[in-house]
């Protein structure tokens, strides 16, 4: 079931964007086989599989890829795969004998997805890093934070998941589409620093046009505009306002009781400090729930700032079935939605090696060969 039913994906276990990309593919029906290390404790944060939301929907084959028999077993799986995802530093897969040339020699139609921070080439290609480093280099981090304050990491959404997982998934789909024409696979070089830079495209345009470039926290979309910011309510919670267009700002002004004259002066930056004070005073007069009752569903471009558990329980999320319970863990449902192709029920992340026998058997290994691999400590 699902639009990606029939797609076979091999995921070399890693952390961050690689697993997230594989989750997106599995959510839409792809058969994702995760190749785990025999002792994977060094990957990510230790947790029971049911809490590993980004690891859901896979099957797990535990192999020792540093041993020839483990490498050969994986290459045998590659022969029947459409996609391989790896997130090693540049050159590591080649040292293992599992680089693009090794894999595509066994399967020329394979799309080989590479996920790194800095890309496969360049002076920083071999350097260690994490989301915060990649978005710093792309200019994204420097644009996020309060006035006169330091840059603030936006969780690890922009580098790992926005600039990494999503761009890798898009690249894989583009390569698979091209394969229909050429009959050939290819390498997808997805770098988080590239993806984060791509996400900043609109801001390069705004800067070139002269409409972006004030200090951090003083621009239209970074909290500098008083009508695009968050405000504290009477009960110490917060709401988010995003009334950018004049007609929406007029609605906001009328509903929260501001002086109507502010509507004509919406984009007069000289008046923004006073406007911010007026909005803050108005919002502080009521609780978050009172503002929800007054503003939610209107054209004032309003939303309460919710915690994770509140987000899952919000009536709009409930109506859209935007969150599901999988193994007792509340988590986001697959996105986006499809009108006809819907994948089956979500499965929690597997135990390491839970599907080793089945996956190897599908690849043509006999029961005796599987037993031999296990006895040799190559498979778990």
Q: Which residues are catalytic?
A: 130, 160
Q: How far apart are CA 219 and CA 228, in angstroms?
A: 10
Q: How far apart are CA 139 and CA 158, in angstroms?
A: 11
Q: In what order do the strands lie in the sheet with 228-232?
A: 228-232, 238-242, 302-304
Report the DSSP beta bridge partners of residue 366.
none
In 215-301, which ranges are continuous DSSP H helix? 246-256, 272-284, 288-295
3-state secondary structure of 225: coil
Q: How far apart are CA 92 and CA 99, in angstroms?
A: 8
Cβ-proximal residues to 127 (8 Å cutoff; 6+ apart), any chain: 117, 118
> Phi/psi of residue 26, each to 5°?
-65, -40
Q: Which of 378, 358, 380 is nearest to 69 (CA)?
A: 378
In the chain, which ranges are continuous DSSP H helix? 17-27, 68-78, 92-95, 100-106, 131-137, 166-182, 192-199, 201-208, 246-256, 272-284, 288-295, 308-313, 315-319, 356-362, 367-375
Q: Which of 217, 215, 270, 272 is nearest to 249 (CA)?
A: 272
Q: How far apart are CA 215 and CA 149, in angstroms?
A: 10
Q: How far apart are CA 247 and CA 205, in angstroms?
A: 25
DSSP state of 379: B
Q: Are the C-beta atoms of residues 101 and 71 closer than 8 Å to each other?
A: no
Q: How far apart are CA 165 and CA 173, in angstroms?
A: 12
Burial class (CB in 10 A: 0-12, 13-18, 19+), 247: exposed
């Amino acid at each position: 079931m699902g639009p990606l039913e029939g797609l076979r994906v091999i995921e070399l276990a890693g952390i961050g964007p690689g697993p997230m990309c594989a989750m997106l593919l599995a959510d839409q029906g792809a058969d994702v086989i995760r190749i785990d290390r025999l002792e994977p404790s060094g990957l990510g944060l230790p947790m029971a599989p049911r809490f590993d939301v980004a690891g859901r929907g896979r099957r797990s084959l535990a192999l020792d890829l540093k041993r020839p028999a483990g490498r050969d077993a994986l290459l045998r799986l590659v022969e029947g795969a459409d996609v391989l995802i790896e997130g090693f530093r540049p050159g590591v897969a080649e040292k293992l004998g599992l680089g693009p040339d090794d894999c595509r020699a066994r399967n020329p139609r394979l799309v080989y997805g590479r996920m790194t921070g800095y890309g496969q080439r360049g002076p920083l290609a071999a350097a260690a890093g994490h989301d915060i480093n990649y978005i710093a280099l792309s200019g994204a981090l420097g644009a996020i934070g309060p006035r006169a304050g330091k840059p603030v990491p936006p969780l690890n959404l922009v580098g790992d998941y926005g600039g990494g997982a999503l761009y890798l998934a898009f690249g894989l789909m583009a390569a698979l589409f091209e394969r229909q024409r050429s009959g050939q696979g290819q390498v997808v070089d997805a770098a988080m620093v590239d993806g984060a830079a791509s996400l900043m495209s609109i801001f390069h345009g705004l800067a070139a046009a002269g409409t972006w470039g004030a200090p951090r926290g003083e621009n239209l979309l970074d909290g500098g505009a008083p009508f695009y910011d968050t405000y504290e309510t009477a009960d110490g919670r917060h709401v988010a306002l995003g009334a950018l267009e004049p007609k929406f700002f007029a609605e906001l002004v009328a509903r929260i009781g501001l002086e109507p004259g502010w509507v004509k002066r919406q984009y007069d930056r000289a008046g923004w400090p006073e406007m911010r004070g007026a909005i803050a005073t108005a919002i502080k007069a009521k609780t978050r729930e009172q503002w929800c009752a007054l503003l939610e569903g209107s054209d004032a471009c309003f939303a309460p700032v919710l915690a994770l558990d509140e987000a899952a329980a919000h009536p709009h999320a409930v109506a859209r079935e935007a969150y599901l319970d999988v193994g007792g863990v509340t988590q986001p449902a697959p996105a986006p939605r499809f009108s006809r192709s819907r994948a089956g029920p979500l499965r929690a992340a597997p135990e390491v090696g839970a599907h080793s026998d089945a996956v190897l058997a599908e690849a043509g290994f006999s029961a005796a060969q599987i037993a031999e691999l296990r006895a040799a400590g190559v498979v778990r």
